[in-house]
Amino acid sequence: MSIIVPFYGSADPVDLHRCEASLKRQGLNEGSYEVIVVDDDGKGLGAARNKGMRQAHGTYLLFLDADDVLLPSSLSYCVDLLRMYQPDMLSFGYIPITSVVGIDNVESEGSVEVYVSGAEYMAHHNFMGTAWRHLFLREWLDHNQLCFAEEVYHEDEAFVAKAYFLAGTTVITDKLVYGYMQSEVSILNNTEWEHRKKRMDDFMSLLLDLKSFLASHLNSSSELQHKALIRRLSFLTIDFLLQLRRNRCPIGDGLKYFKQLKKNRLLPLPDGHYSNKYTLARCIINPVSFFV
């Protein structure tokens, strides 16, 4: 296994030491995994991960952010599942934390579901589209030439959606493995307008990228894959509209985004009965889109 840890030159080395310490508490045999700490070279998280992927030799890849940790003795549970099912992807559970105090007492038995394809899972479930809560078969990623977009935000969402679209055997467990460190200085909490505008523009680019990806695979994909990615695109479109509100997007800019969504046929939202929340959102958003 290769564990890829992006680490920026200006980052706190204490975070990295804490992260590495959590790796040593996984109960894995020495030599059974490699840790690749990689700088982003000023091109963002996606570039750092791509660089780490090129250097990796392990059968499976895990993307671990330097300010996060793995819960004690949790990764070995996933390794057993990898050996048992040999999936293209495995997704595990996570918890938000503010410190490592008390994580030794976190208990999680973990249930397991196995799907014949990632599309089968994506067609019926919502999920958090972060790369760090997944393990990926390296050879399969290489074969499909999957990589992260660089110098943009939301690079995880596109990467993970494409991965589910293409994946064969997919394992989902709610076993708690990952400790996501919440911080007030996170890039997610940056309130400068220039930063917020880039986040919204990058999110729009993500939607258009997935739309283009779907079109390029139209003749080679199954009906299930098409259905799955349409569902994912629909939920991401709703999330994008919510992001406009969270980022206090001015009305003029918001109208431009709406028009761009309509132009690219991401609005109105399709009539799929995915969930009660989706149906409610569609009933609110679609009438508005008709008047924009």
Q: For residues 263 and 188, give the distance between their C-alpha atoms in angstroms, rounded to a whole number.
A: 29
Q: Is 96 helix (H, G, I), strand (E, B) or coil?
A: strand
Q: For residues 106 and 91, give the distance between their C-alpha atoms in angstroms, rounded to a whole number.
A: 19
Query: Rounded to the nearest 10 degrees, what angle do helices 223-246 and 193-216 cross at?
Result: 170
Q: Is 94 helix (H, G, I), strand (E, B) or coil?
A: strand
Has residue 216 got a pLDDT over 60? yes
Q: For residues 138 and 230, give the distance between their C-alpha atoms in angstroms, rounded to a whole number.
A: 26
Q: For residues 54 and 286, give the distance between their C-alpha atoms in angstroms, rounded to a whole number.
A: 43
Q: Is 26 helix (H, G, I), strand (E, B) or coil?
A: coil
Mean pLDDT of the chain: 92
- Decide if 167 contacts 123 (C-beta within 8 A): no
Domain extents in the chain: 2-181, 190-290
What's the pLDDT at 187? 47
Q: What pTM, to 2 d.p., does this model score?
A: 0.93
pLDDT in tens, 17-32: 999 999 999 988 888 9
What's the pLDDT at 27? 84
Across 46-50, 53-57, 106-110, 284-288, least confident range: 106-110
Has residue 286 got a pLDDT over 70? yes
pLDDT in tens, 50-83: 999 999 999 999 999 999 999 998 999 999 999 9
Has residue 170 got a pLDDT over 70? yes
Q: Name the DSSP letter for residue 217.
A: T
Mean pLDDT value of segment 9-14? 76
What is the CATH number that goes with domain 2-181? Answer: 3.90.550.10
What share of the chain has pLDDT > 90, as a percent?
Answer: 77
